[in-house]
A and B are shown apart, each in its own frame.
Chain A
């Protein structure tokens, strides 16, 4: 049985006995996962490739629903409701639970339009308001100084690290409560990676963060809680400093000491 620590903070989200099965698979890819996500903290998910960490992350904003035939069981409780319910408004859910992807995904439009995109989808048309919120989001994503003189330029002209921060700005512009990071630095150089990591730790004042990473050092550097997953199961969730120093489960210990992976 998994060892799940207590979370002292308020909970942003509570996952209860979540099972997830891909349309093309017979076996569930996630098996009875239960875990809390602490508010205004960073929760990292680690584990070997194929362990289900990205699958779990993409369940939280129901990204799997874009492809037909995928099936959830169990519950994810958010603001007192089960968001796996068939009646859940996915548009609204995804506004409140944002996502950053493995690769920067600047849209084929200007820097300004990229960051304003989510706001415009919500029907905000007022130019001044859009401008103010774009500036604030870019400032919070620590990229305002670099782009303020070229807001009208194509976003694809930015470097990879800049594009990823632009994507973060775009995600926080709509003021989500939770941000999901799916290996956000896997396509970036070390310096850009460091910038994103610093940004993640700063952002937790405003949002609750779940980050999937294949890099244990990254998990240790940025997170407050770490969950170790293996073969679709959550083996252990602990306070990061405890999990990496005194893991409760033998499997966790073997993974973090590099015996497999």
Chain B
């Protein structure tokens, strides 16, 4: 009797686990099928052409792809140094009594829904950027800043967790040789947790590149590649969020699906690199 129950339990959990794989495959298939029309019509031009003109039935994703890349790059440039600094402070420098409250508040920040970052960015950051850099305030720079603020708590928390895996005994060994706090951080903590730190940064990158709501508010949805970062621009998720309801032709619809497919492949690749290469379990000392 117990054996039967065990069997039922084992098989039902197996089924649930397989369902997850199935859903992933399903999403891929749907995206791929729906993109076919766009792929056949534009071929590789889809990713190299930046002209996005629904009225002329011309769709090129280059501006959206570049928008995703540039806004994410900006966010990373702004967030990485701060996140690493916060992580070092929390794992190595802060007094025990400070570690818990600051650590928890950072995790709470990471839990704020991204739409709130978007609203806050629109009403608070857009005017500031407009006053300082000119333009209308909505654009690539604002998107990069809001994205940076949004991924920072997550990045700092995961980086701190990676640094916390450094065994105390290893740090003590370096102190016992006459190392200062800075020596130990630079020579022991960072090299020991390097893989974990890079993994944390890449996971955050994955979140930034797929982020929709936070940037939709402040990006502008203009399909143009411009090196002037104060100009309105677009990214893949911003285009998808803004234009799905307006897609009135099959080709338009299919082009949006191809954009989504590109985003999925990019995110998948990034997260896979982080998970399978950098965040493998390290053998302990």
A residues with CB within 8 A of B: 61, 63, 66-68, 91-92, 94-95, 98-99, 101-109, 117-118, 121-122, 156, 167, 170-171, 174
Q: Are B177 and A117 in contact (CB under 8 A)?
A: yes
Take A68-B96, A105-B285 as given contacts and tell me if A122 and B178 are in contact as well, using a CB distance cutoff of 8 Å: yes
Query: Which residue of A has the minimal Cβ distance to B283?
Result: A156
The answer to whether B172 and A66 have CB atoms under 8 Å apart is: yes
Fill in one digit per residue for B172-193: 1 if any A CB lies within 8 Å of its CB, else 0: 1111111110010001100110
| A68 partner residues in chain B, CB cutoff 8 A | 95-96
Residue B169 interfacial (CB < 8 Å): yes
Least CB distance from A180 to B in Å reads 8
List of B residues within 8 angstroms of A118 by Cβ: 177-178
Question: Is B116 on the interface with A (CB-CB < 8 A)?
Answer: no
Chain B nearest Cβ from A58, distance in angstroms: 9
Give B218 Cβ to nearest chain A Cβ, in Å: 41
- A103-B169, A105-B169, A108-B188 given; A171·B174 CB < 8 A: no
Contacts of A63 on B, CB cut-off 8 Å? 172, 175-176
Q: In the complex, which residue of chain A has the Cβ closest to the Cβ of B96?
A: A68
Report yes or no: B183 in contact with A99, Cβ–Cβ below 8 A: no
Hey, which chain B residues are within 8 Å of A117, CB to CB? 174, 177, 187
Q: Is the Cβ of B176 less than 8 Å from the Cβ of A102? A: no
Tally of A-B residue pairs with Cβ under 8 A? 68
Q: Is B170 part of the contact surface with A, judged by Cβ < 8 Å?
A: yes
User: CA of A255 to CA of B176 in the docked complex: distance in angstroms?
Assistant: 32
* Interfacial chain A residues near B172, Cβ < 8 Å: 63, 66, 99, 101, 105
A92 to B178, CA, bound (A): 6
A117 to B173, CA, bound (A): 11
CA distance A103 to B281 in the complex (A): 20
Residues of chain A within 8 A of B175, CB atoms compared: 63, 66, 94
Given A68-B95, A117-B187, the answer on whether A105 and B178 have CB atoms closer than 8 Å is: no
Complex A-B, nearest 3 residue pairs according to Cβ-Cβ distance, in ascending order:
A118-B177, A99-B176, A105-B173
Say yes or no: B178 contacts A94, CB within 8 Å: yes
Considering the complex, give the chain A residue whose CB is closest to the CB of B177: A118
- Complexed CA–CA distance, A121 and B183 (Å): 8
Q: Which residues does chain A contribute within 8 Å of B174, judged by CB atoms?
A: 107, 117
Q: How far is the CB of A130 from chain B (nearest CB, A)?
A: 14
Enumerate 10 A-B pairs (CB-CB under 8 Å) in ascending A order.
A67-B96, A91-B178, A95-B177, A101-B169, A101-B173, A105-B167, A109-B191, A121-B178, A156-B285, A174-B178
- Asked if A108 and B180 make an inter-chain contact with CB atoms under 8 angstroms apart, the answer reads no
Residue tally, chain B, CB below 8 Å to A: 21
| A63-B172, A101-B169 known; A108-B191 Cβ under 8 A | yes
What CA separation (Å) do A68 and B93 show in the bound complex? 11
Contacts of A94 on B, CB cut-off 8 Å? Answer: 175-178
Complex Cα gap A128–B176 (Å): 25
What are the residues of chain B within 8 A of A95 when measuring CB–CB? Answer: 177-178
Is B178 a contact of A107 with CB atoms below 8 Å? no
- What is the 8 Å Cβ interface bit string for chain B, positions 68-103, against chain A (1 contact, 0 not)? 000000000000000000000000000110000000
Residues of A within 8 A of B183 (CB): 121
Set of chain A residues within 8 Å of B173, measured between Cβ atoms: 99, 101, 105, 107, 167
**Chain A hits for B187, CB < 8 A:** 107, 109, 117
In the complex, the answer to whether B169 meets A98 with C-beta atoms within 8 Å is: no
Question: How far, in Å, is B25 (CB) from chain A's closest CB?
Answer: 39
Contact among A91, A102, A104, A167 with B180 in the assembled complex (CB-CB below 8 Å):
A91
B91, chain A: closest CB distance, angstroms: 14
In the assembled complex, the CB of A235 is this many whole angstroms from the nearest CB of chain B, namely 28
In the assembled complex, the CB of B164 is this many whole angstroms from the nearest CB of chain A, namely 15
Q: Considering the chains assembled together, what is the distance between the CA atoms of A259 and B13 in angstroms?
A: 54
Among A68, A107, A156, the one with the most B-chain Cβ atoms within 10 Å of its Cβ is A107
Q: How far is the CB of A133 from chain B (nearest CB, A)?
A: 13
Closest B residue to A66 by beta carbon equals: B175
Shortest CB-to-CB span from A173 to chain B, Å, is 9
Distance of B268 from chain A, by nearest CB (Å): 30
Nearest Cβ distance between residue B213 and chain A, in whole angstroms? 40
Residues of chain B with a CB closer than 8 A to A103's CB: 169, 285
Contact present for B285 and A171 (CB under 8 Å):
no
Give Cα A95–Cα B170 distance, bound, in whole angstroms.
Answer: 17
Contact of B179 among A98, A106, A108, A121 (CB under 8 A): A121
What is the CA–CA distance of A101 and B95 in the complex, to the nearest angstrom? 25
* Chain A nearest CB, measured from B98 CB (Å): 11
Q: Which of A102, A106, A174 contacts B177 (CB 8 A)?
A: A174
Cα separation A115 to B225 with both chains bound (whole Å)? 53
Please indicate the chain A residues that have their CB under 8 angstroms from the CB of B96 in the complex. Answer: 67-68
- Cα A142 to Cα B260 in complex, Å, equals 62
**Bound complex: CA of A105 vs CA of B174, how far in Å?**
9
Report B236 CB to chain A, min CB distance, Å.
38
